[in-house]
Amino acid sequence: MPLELKKASPVRLRDVALDEKWLQDRIAEDPSLLGLGDLHVIKREKSQSTGGRIDFLMYDPDGETRYEVELMLGTLDESHIIRTIEYWDIERQRYPALEHRAVIVAEEITSRFFNVIRLLNRAVPMIALQLNAFQFGESIVLHFTKVLDVYESIEDEEEEPPEPTDRRYWEKRATRESLAIADEVVSIVRTVSREPRVTYHKGHISLGTTGYNFCWFHTRRQSAHCHLHMRSGNEQRDALLQRLEDAGISAAPHRRNSLTLKLTAKDFTDNRELLTEVIRQSESWSRTRGSSEA
């Protein structure tokens, strides 16, 4: 049966007698509307020590990332930007062991303020979402478009953080099973390539060989799995993702040239050959990076 074309009219929420509380209610019912993944709401309208309330504090349980979300109907303005960054900074200082993302949502983000938040994004991990609402009969359709994501720079991600640490720190912080998965990846690198270079930081464990770092581990405090980000290059990433998904391994795109994996010991038992190939290709790309994707 051919699809039937229906006409939907773009609207501003206030023009159809809907306010910010209505929008908050819809997002609270289904946080996936934002398009940021399977987020959980920790607190709605959370009071801040400096005054004011953050619209949403959300949490990604897989990535151990918190999202400080501020909503605004109408056009983005200066106070909204300042408020979002302030709330992000308060939560970041309160929970420094977690990653934090400042999220701005508005119905219109003009070029002037887009340039402002794009510049700020180099210092603050900021995501900007533009809300588009459409009226279809007696229904409203909400669509959130990501117009700005966390600043991506290969060099920035590979800079050494100010607080290096050692193996003992991670043995106390992570489960034995989660840390063993990181060790398994390191042992594969040693077997198929060359001597691995492992660096321990308080935020993550990084892995490289003679080139740039290509793998970052985020081991878990209470779980047996391990999250890792791995650079593989644009040309081969989609093909690798498809093979990983076909094998039943949790994998998704992550930033530029990268993929993110959630690995368990069973993944190595069932799909060691495939994981070895993914690791080998990523390590190889780290030594020739940029030659084909400049």
Mean pLDDT value across residues 34-60: 85
Domain membership flag for residue 189: yes
pLDDT at 106: 94
Q: Which two tokens stand for residue 7?
A: 């006409």
Residue 4: inside a domain, yes or no? no
Residue with tokens 């992570």: 174
Q: What is the pLDDT of residue 151?
A: 54
- Residue 90 shares a structural domain with residue 33: yes
Over 70: is that where the pLDDT of 256 sits? no
CATH classification at residue 238: 3.90.1150
Query: pLDDT category, 73, cuts 50, 70, 90?
Result: very high
Q: Are residues 165 and 283 in the same domain?
A: yes
Q: In the prediction, which pLDDT does 294 show?
A: 31
Q: Does 3 reside within a domain? A: no
Together in a domain, 133 and 251? no
Within this chain, do residues 139 and 14 fall inside the same structural domain, yes or no? yes
**How many residues comprise the chain?**
294
CB 291 within 8 A of CB 246: no
Identify the band that residue 255 occupies on the pLDDT scale cut at 50, 70 and 90: low
Phi, psi (deg, nearest 5) at residue 4: -95, 135
CB atoms within 10 A of CB 3: 5
Residue 197 in domain: yes
Q: Which domain holds residue 195?
A: 156-288
Report the pLDDT value the prediction gives residue 204, as an integer from 0 to 100. 85
Using an 8 Å Cβ cutoff, are 135 and 112 in contact? no
Is the domain of 166 the same as that of 35? Answer: no
Q: For CA atoms 79, 17, 25, 131, give the dihedral sign.
A: negative
Whether residue 152 is predicted with pLDDT greater than 60 in this model: the reply is: no
2 lies in some domain: no
Last residue of a domain, one of 116, 151, 186: 151
Q: Are residues 195 and 274 in the same domain?
A: yes
109, 220: one domain? no
Residue 206 vs residue 287, higher pLDDT: 206
Name which of 2-6, 201-205, 237-241 the model is least confident about. 2-6
Last residue of a domain, which of 135, 151, 167? Answer: 151
Mean pLDDT of 122-140: 89
Residue 169: inside a domain, yes or no? yes
Q: C-alpha distances in angstroms, 292 versus 23, 91, 230, 232, 278?
A: 44, 40, 18, 12, 19
Query: Does 133 share its domain with 242?
Result: no
Tell me the two tokens of residue 129.
């979402």
Q: Tell me the pTM.
A: 0.56
Residue 294 in domain: no
Rg for the chain, CA atoms, rounded: 21
What CATH number does the domain containing 15 carry? 3.40.1350.10
Q: Is residue 168 located within the same domain as residue 207?
A: yes
CA angle (180 as vertex; 223, 203 as ends), nearest 5: 65
- What the block records as the tokens of 222 is 């209470």
Asked whether residue 106 falls in the same domain as residue 229, the answer is no
Share of the chain above pLDDT 90, in %: 40
CB atoms within 10 A of CB 133: 20
- Compute how many other C-beta atoms are within 10 angstroms of the C-beta atom of residue 126: 23
Q: Which amino acid is at 63?
A: G
The β-bridge partners of 69 are 56, 103
Domain final residue pick, 106, 122, 151: 151
Binned at pLDDT 50, 70 and 90, residue 103 comes out as: very high
144 and 160 together in one domain: no
Per the structure, the count of domains in the chain is 2
The tens digit of pLDDT for each residue in 174-218 reads 899 999 999 999 999 998 877 899 999 877 899 999 888 899 998
Residue 293 belongs to a domain? no
For 104-113, 209-218, 256-265, which range has the lowest pLDDT when averaged over its residues?
A: 256-265
Alpha-carbon distance of 294 to 290, in angstroms, equals: 5
Residue 209 and residue 125 share a domain: no
